[in-house]
Amino acid sequence: MIGVGIESTCDETSIGITREGDTLLSLKLYSQIELHKKYRGVVPEIASRAHLEKINLLLEEAIQEAGVGFADLAYVSVSAYPGLMGALIIGAQMARCLAMALGIPVVPVDHLEAHMAAIRLEGQRPEFPYLGVLLSGGNSAVYIVHGFGKMEVVGDTMDDALGEAFDKVAALLDLSYPGGPPVEEQAKQYLPASDEKQLFPELLRDLPRNEVKFSYSGLKTSVLYYTKKNDISAKQIPKICYHFQNTAFQLVEKNLKRAVAITGVKRIVAAGGVLANQTLRDRLHDFSLQKGWDLFTPIKRILCTDNGAMVACLGYHLLQLGKSASLDFRVSPSRQVECS
């Protein structure tokens, strides 16, 4: 069964085509980073227009690269929530058109759950239940995933998402947008002394005990005060980036420890754009090994970021469970998962 997945929740327009959900046939992605760069963040109206301009072309290219025809498509799947409203509508309309024109079922999917399905495209198949830790520009949260279409929130962010914190810290340090890659690069250049104290430790002290909670706005403000109090030269940027990153990732580890203790689940799927960070990947792998947990992360960077292949993959599995929708399905800017 060949299916197409459409992704347009934020600033990536993407179409993926898969066979039996888990075999990737093609993946086309247009990143709008250049359009949003000068605003240092995603401008919703610009995002919607860019999706509209690119989506048809990407669909044609994906079909061609997969070596299939429109008549081979058995279903269409689309990220329906959460996301920017105008951006979601573009993907949803494309899905409705394909479903109507080809007479195939449409499967709206949760974008967040789709991120966790991405690893299946690389042959990784964790058993349910697993903990899904999603770290991106808009999310820092841990979920428990009981099955396809069945997940609950274990813990969430109280303010800024992790990727957003990278973007804001990069702006403070006059590094490029998006902030993740340049902050990671700078941090790699710094070698701390073995007894070096953390520059930004407050974050870990102030969090509620025994709960999974992310909070990065305090860390970002600490970086801001540090840059104001100290005369920052280019030489100090690697040190600041190192300490920001180190504290930020310690919170991920701490929350995973708490999530495992609360749920008893030791299988973890980590996903989202921030997983492109090699330091984070290495740390999570080492930490999981030390704790005896099974950790799954996407291997290819394109499967960390928002992409249509993960949508086609999850759509297939939901369709097997009979979860297609009528053409008047709703999209929503907000998350639809319940708290456990």
Q: Which residues of the shown chain bind ligand KG4 in the complex (CB under 6 A)?
A: 10-11, 136-138, 163-164, 166-167, 178-181, 184, 272-274, 276-277, 305-306
Cβ-based nearer residue to ligand KG4, 16 or 163: 163
- Nearest residue (CB) to ligand KG4, 115 versus 319: 115
Q: Which is nearer to ligand KG4, 32 or 77 (CB)?
A: 32
Q: Is the peptide bond before 129 cis (omega within 30 degrees of 0)?
A: yes
Residue 110 or 167 with smaller CB distance to ligand KG4: 167
| Rounded-to-integer distance, Cα 131 and Cα 267, Å | 6
Least distance from ligand KG4 to the Cβ atom of residue 316, Å: 21
Dihedral over Cα of 99, 104, 108, 114: its sign? negative
Contact between residue 294 and residue 266 where contact means Cβ atoms under 8 Å apart: yes
Backbone angles phi, psi at 309, to 5 degrees: -65, -40
CB of 248 to ligand KG4, least distance (A): 9
Q: Which is nearer to ligand KG4, 166 or 316 (CB)?
A: 166
- H helix intervals, the chain: 33-36, 44-66, 85-102, 111-117, 162-172, 180-188, 202-205, 217-229, 237-263, 278-291, 308-320
Nearer to ligand KG4, 181 or 333 (CB): 181
- Three-class SS state of 12: strand
CA distances to 117, 160, 228, 242, 272 from 221, in Å = 34, 11, 10, 16, 24
**CA-wise closest residue to 51 among 77, 108, 89:** 89
Q: Cis bond leading into 181, ω under 30°?
A: no
Other CB atoms within 10 Å distance of the CB of residue 282: 10
Spatial distance between the Cα atoms of 213 and 209, rounded to a whole number of angstroms: 9
Cβ closest to ligand KG4, residue 24 vs residue 162: 162
Closest distance of CB 309 from ligand KG4, Å: 14
> Could you tell me the smallest distance in angstroms from the CB atom of residue 7 to ligand KG4?
10
Q: Show contacts of 131-134: CB within 8 Å, 24+ apart.
A: 131/256, 131/259, 131/260, 131/263, 131/265, 131/267, 131/268, 131/269, 132/268, 132/269, 132/270, 132/271, 133/252, 133/255, 133/256, 133/259, 133/268, 133/269, 133/270, 133/271, 134/271, 134/272
User: Looking at beta carbons only, is 22 or 306 nearer to ligand KG4?
Assistant: 306
Nearer to ligand KG4 by Cβ, of 11 and 156: the residue is 11
CB of 261 to ligand KG4, least distance (A): 26
CB of 192 to ligand KG4, least distance (A): 19
